[in-house]
């Protein structure tokens, strides 16, 4: 039986544009009436469409589907399906990693209130870090400009990370050095495509005194939390072993003020 393209598309549940695209790939070759240029499809074309749509539903690229529909080799089908299976496995692996990271970020946000100003000891892996600012001012540096786009593309495994000069921070100076950048834990480096160059700082695995703090855009970075941090350090026999680092967890706006919730890591050594 012969069908015009509109009727054929309705009977098969596919669009007219899809049929025209399949025709352009020579998956189907309807008869054409030279007098009126109408296309006529038959029942064999219907089976071809269903078969090709089945292959496409198995995640095979449409170009490969077209090749398979023109081939009589079962070996070709098996090989192309194996390639598709491997690509699908890789995508599932990436999505699983992404789901785990999403859960991690979600848990951090949920725990903000219960973790606020509560200190605990954490052992964390090494950290790679690309400095991006001096205080809150973006650095104009060609090496940073060349690297920053790949670090942004590595989100969400990279994250906003700050560093504070510990000696200046604890000395009571009103103005002390800090900077922001992008960082990644070294155990997650395998998940992304990042080149670690000499411009990238490496902080080895350490034990940290950690807590969650809030900071507003109306205060010098963390200045309102300095007394809290110093009291905690002085209460315990900790030796500070390097600069303070930390990560941005979440930012909200309340009564016109931007509030940043951050997790701070103070490298320590002593009776933990």
User: In the chain, what are the domain boundaries?
Assistant: 3-70, 74-110, 113-270
pLDDT bin (cut points 50, 70, 90) of residue 204 is very high
pLDDT bin (cut points 50, 70, 90) of residue 37 is confident
Cα 109 versus chain centre, distance: 17
Query: Which residue in the block uniquely carries the two structure tokens 């790679």?
Result: 128
pLDDT digits (tens, 9 = 90+) for 14-32: 999 999 999 999 999 999 8
The alpha carbons of the chain give a radius of gyration, in whole angstroms, of 29
Mean pLDDT over the full length of the chain: 92
DSSP string over 113-174:
HHHBT--EEEEE--EEEEE-EETTEE---HHHHHHHHHHHHTTTTSEEEEEE-HHHHHHT-S
- More confident of the two residues 253 and 156: 156
Helices assigned H by DSSP within 203-267: 226-235
Distance, CA of 6 to CA of 271 (rounded, Å): 79
Q: What's the pLDDT at 34?
A: 82
215 within 8 A of 263, measured Cβ to Cβ: no
The full length of the chain comes to 272
- Give the CATH superfamily of 113-270: Regulatory factor, effector binding domain (3.20.80.10)
- What CATH class is the domain 3-70? mainly alpha
The candidate with the shortest Cα–Cα distance to 108, out of 253, 212, 244, 222, is 212
- What torsion do the CA atoms of 129, 135, 141, 146 make, to the nearest 10 degrees? 40
pTM beyond 0.95: no
Query: Which residue in the block uniquely carries the two structure tokens 């350490």?
Result: 206
- Could you give the count of Cα atoms lying within 13 Å of 76 in the half-sphere of its Cβ? 11
Q: Is the pLDDT of residue 272 over 60?
A: no
């Amino acid at each position: 039986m012969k069908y015009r393209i509109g009727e054929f598309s309705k009977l098969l549940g596919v669009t007219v544009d899809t049929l025209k695209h399949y025709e352009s790939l020579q998956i189907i070759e309807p008869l054409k009436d030279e007098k009126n240029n109408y296309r006529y499809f038959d029942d064999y074309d219907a089976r071809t469409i269903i078969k090709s749509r089945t292959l496409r539903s198995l995640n095979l690229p449409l170009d490969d589907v077209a090749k398979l529909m023109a081939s009589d080799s079962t070996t070709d089908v098996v090989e192309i399906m194996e390639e598709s299976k491997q690509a699908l496995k890789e995508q599932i692996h990436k999505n699983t990693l992404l789901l785990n990271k999403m859960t991690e970020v979600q848990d951090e946000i949920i725990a903000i209130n219960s973790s606020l100003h509560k200190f605990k000891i954490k052992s964390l892996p090494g950290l790679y870090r690309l400095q991006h600012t001096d205080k809150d001012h973006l650095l104009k540096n060609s090496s940073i400009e060349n690297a920053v786009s790949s670090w942004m593309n590595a989100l969400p495994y990279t994250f906003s990370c700050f560093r504070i000069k510990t000696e200046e921070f604890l000395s009571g100076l009103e103005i002390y050095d800090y900077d922001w950048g992008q960082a990644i834990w070294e155990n997650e480096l395998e998940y992304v495509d990042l080149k670690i160059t000499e411009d990238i700082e490496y902080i080895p695995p350490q034990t940290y005194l950690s807590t969650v703090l809030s900071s507003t855009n109306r205060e010098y970075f963390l200045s309102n939390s300095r007394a809290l941090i110093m009291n905690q350090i002085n209460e315990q026999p900790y030796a500070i072993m390097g600069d303070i680092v930390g990560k941005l967890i979440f930012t909200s706006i309340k009564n016109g003020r931007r509030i940043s919730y951050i997790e701070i890591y103070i490298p320590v050594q002593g009776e933990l």
